[in-house]
Amino acid sequence: MRGAGWITPDRDFDVAEHLELRGLRPLARASRLACVAAAAALRHPEPLPAAPERCAVVLGTRFASVEPLVEFNRVAVTDGPGLVSPSSFPNVVVNAHAGYLGILFGLAGPNVTFCGESAGLEALGHALDLLELGRADAVLAGGVEAYGETLYEGLRRAGAEEPEEAAAFVLLSRDGTGPRLDRAGIDEVVAGGGTGAAAGALVPVHALESLLAS
Amino acid sequence: MDVETFWAALLSGTTGAAKIESFDPSPFSVRIGCEVRGLALESASEPRPGRAALLAAAAGRQALAQAGLAGASRTDVALSIGTTMGESCWLEAWDPADVRAGTVPAEELVRSGPDQVGRDVAAELGLGGRVTVLAGACAAGNYALGHALDLIRLGRADVVLAGGTDAFSRVAFTGFARLGALAAEACRPFSADRDGLVLGEGAALLVIESAARAAARGAAPLAELAGIGLSCDAFHIVSPDPRGRGAARAMAAALEDARADPGEIGYLSAHGTGTLANDRAEVVAARAVFGKGGPPMSSIKAITGHGLGAASALEAVACVQALLEQIAPPTWNFTRADPDCDWDAIPNEPRELKLGVVLSNAYAFGGANASLVLRAA
């Protein structure tokens, strides 16, 4: 599908096999998965569809920061705060994942991150708003959730459904190129306060499959 | 703390910076922070919401009361709230043995997802509208305020309680310490001898509604939220672009969104963290937008510390007060001018100014920039 990319990898998924970009080493798994799906949606390394400062990123996630947060705290508690790698700190900051997309693909427009069960859909809806309000000419929008050992074990013990990791992005343009989205469907879910999906269920991939109108 | 106390502290130079009490700072060489103290964060909810949510709920109650919505139905009030990483309070309180073994409390882990802040604040305040949680780190407040503006403009919400919150976090303190970003003794924005930020915490929320809706219910607006400008440096994950290009684009976009000319801006509320790199880049960006004779610019972070997700929301409140009182809060702790920050930083003394329109900057990890324009009502 032109302008869309998604992955639902298994635990052995090796990002490096799918993406040749320098400087990926400090990135959390969520950022890496997002990069792979984003690269597909952007058809990287093809030129961007608009001037870099007119290209926005909108990301939705619920738990992308939690495993990095747990791991950061674990190293600080176990080895001492002086032994935590400074480069691991941005990964606990939720919007860093979208920040990496901006840096790696040179997208210098608005860079926005939503959090929640339906954050992937909020991201798609907000992408349409950015285009409507003229804040961007193209928007890379989607969502990501990533596997984490402590996170997944915790979700299971908390009674959540078997969590699922994935990343999905679409590239939307002001001139109407790219996938067409069902705006009413997005609004209905977002305004309803969520999908009712259990913790860890990933909205964007399924949403993309059902919401892509063309 | 109420708005009057906050504003008085900004004008008198009363800071909350002190030795950290919420955790043992002895493993660190820097041991100061700006913690919220003496505020009873009560909640009847079970399980008890986290500190970021309770700080925000306390701020939200004040905002709703000031807007005349204290006793009103809140079924149509939406929430747009920004945070850095949600609640890290549970995780930071886990037993070290459990942390080492990886056997951590599952429910608290799930509630460490940042969206929990939004759910808890909405529940505490009885808000029935849509709840949006934006992650924008040190710019999260401006992101949330800007999103509220979009929701109103596009008719997706009638009234939005919007702002930011973050609790004092050992994880955040550790991260900034490891990045070498913490000031040894005091935050001195734009001073030649500045050596970093002082970590803080807090929350600030504002009631955002259309002028027509405010007029219809007989409410007097405090100020107009006139425009938002967003950009990404696309440069480095923690360092600002030294050429300030993204920051300049965010300011220019906010001015355009507000249909304001640079010459109308009477006061610039700086991001002004007090780090060498931020303050220098911010001045470069301001010069690109305003030229050399731009408006005076101050940073209240010398007083508040860096409240991360709360910071720009606190600064929006300061901007509203500045417009109401026609006084700009100064940059306290200013010692001597830095040739690299050649700008009027309103050092150490509040200044009476004729203020019609003001601009407030916020910059975050990921190179995410968000500038707001506020206009006198």
Q: Convert the pLDDT of each residue in A7-55 to its tens digit.
A: 665 556 666 666 655 667 789 999 998 998 899 889 888 999 999 999 9
At B72 the pLDDT is 84
Instruction: Say if A197 is an interface residue toward chain B (CB within 8 Å).
Output: no
Mean of pLDDT values over B194-218: 97
At B223 the pLDDT is 98
Domain limits, chain B? 3-376
Higher confidence at residue B72 or residue A210? B72
> Is the separation of the CB atoms in B374 and B266 below 8 Å?
no
What tokens were used for B217? 């219910």
Q: Is B306 a catalytic residue?
A: yes
Task: Give the number of C-alpha atoms closer than 13 A to the C-alpha of residue B87, restricted to the C-beta side.
Answer: 27
Quick check: A213 pLDDT over 50? no
Higher confidence at residue A113 or residue A212? A113
At A25 the pLDDT is 76
Which residue in the block uniquely carries the two structure tokens 């309180």? B93
CB contact under 8 Å between A115 and B86, yes or no, is: yes
d(CA B281, CA B241): 7
Listing DSSP states for A146-210 in one string gives: ---HHHHHHHHHTTPPPP--EEEEEEEETTS-S--B-HHHHHHHHHTT---PPTT--HHHHHHHH
Mean of pLDDT values over B163-191: 98
Q: Convert the pLDDT of each residue in B259-274 to its tens digit.
A: 999 999 999 999 999 9
Q: Convert the pLDDT of each residue in B43-101 to its tens digit.
A: 999 999 999 999 999 999 999 999 999 888 899 999 999 999 999 999 999 999 999 98
User: What number of C-beta contacts closer than 8 Å exist between A and B?
Assistant: 217
Q: Which residues contact B355 (CB under 8 A, 6 or more apart)?
A: B266, B267, B322, B323, B326, B328, B376
What order of strands is seen across the sheet that includes strand B131-135?
A4-7, A166-173, A138-145, A55-61, A111-115, B131-135, B77-83, B159-166, B202-209
Quick check: A202 pLDDT over 50? no
**Residue B126 CB neighbour total at 10 angstroms:** 11
Domain of residue A173, CATH code = 3.40.47.10
What tokens were used for B127? 């808000």
At B212 the pLDDT is 96
Q: Is B138 a catalytic residue?
A: yes
Quick check: B12 pLDDT over 90? yes
Quick check: A200 pLDDT over 50? no
Least confident piece of the model among A75-79, A202-206, B8-12, B363-367: A202-206
To 10 degrees, the CA torsion angle through B212, B215, B221, B224? 20
Mean of pLDDT values over B204-231: 97
Q: Convert the pLDDT of each residue in B237-246 to its tens digit.
A: 999 999 999 9
**Residue A159 CB neighbour total at 10 angstroms:** 11
At A91 the pLDDT is 95
Q: Convert the pLDDT of each residue in B31-43 to its tens digit.
A: 999 999 999 998 9
Q: What is the pTM of this model?
A: 0.95
Instruction: Say if B55 is an interface residue toward chain A (CB within 8 Å).
Output: no
d(CA B204, CA B202): 7
Q: Convert the pLDDT of each residue in A125-145 to its tens digit.
A: 999 999 999 999 999 999 898
How far A88 CA lies from chain B's nearest CA (Å)? 8
How far A13 CA lies from chain B's nearest CA (Å)? 23
d(CA B136, CA A201): 23
Mean of pLDDT values over B321-345: 98
At A19 the pLDDT is 61
- Counting residues of chain B whose pLDDT is more than 90, the rounded percentage is 96
**Whether ipTM exceeds 0.95:** yes
At B125 the pLDDT is 96
Q: Convert the pLDDT of each residue in B94-130 to its tens digit.
A: 999 999 988 889 999 989 999 999 999 999 999 999 9
CB contact under 8 Å between B367 and A111, yes or no, is: yes
Q: Is B147 a catalytic residue?
A: no
CB-CB neighbors (< 8 A) of B232 in chain A: 57, 99, 102, 107-111
At B241 the pLDDT is 97
Quick check: A209 pLDDT over 60? no
Domain range holding A146? 4-211
Q: Convert the pLDDT of each residue in B287-321 to its tens digit.
A: 999 998 899 999 999 999 999 999 999 999 999 99
pLDDT band at A1 (very low <50, low <70, confident <90, very high): very low
Quick check: A204 pLDDT over 60? no
Catalytic-role residue among B34, B89, B187, B306: B306
At A49 the pLDDT is 93
Instruction: Say if A51 is an interface residue toward chain B (CB within 8 Å).
Output: no
Instruction: Say if A65 is an interface residue toward chain B (CB within 8 Å).
Output: yes
At A65 the pLDDT is 92
CB-CB neighbors (< 8 A) of B235 in chain A: 103
> Is the separation of the CB atoms in B374 and B316 below 8 Å?
yes
pLDDT band at B277 (very low <50, low <70, confident <90, very high): very high
Q: Convert the pLDDT of each residue in A141-198 to its tens digit.
A: 998 988 889 988 888 888 876 667 888 888 999 887 777 777 777 777 676 654 433 3
Q: How many domains does chain A have?
A: 1
CATH no. for B3-376: 3.40.47.10
Least confident piece of the model among A53-67, A193-207, B191-205, B261-275: A193-207
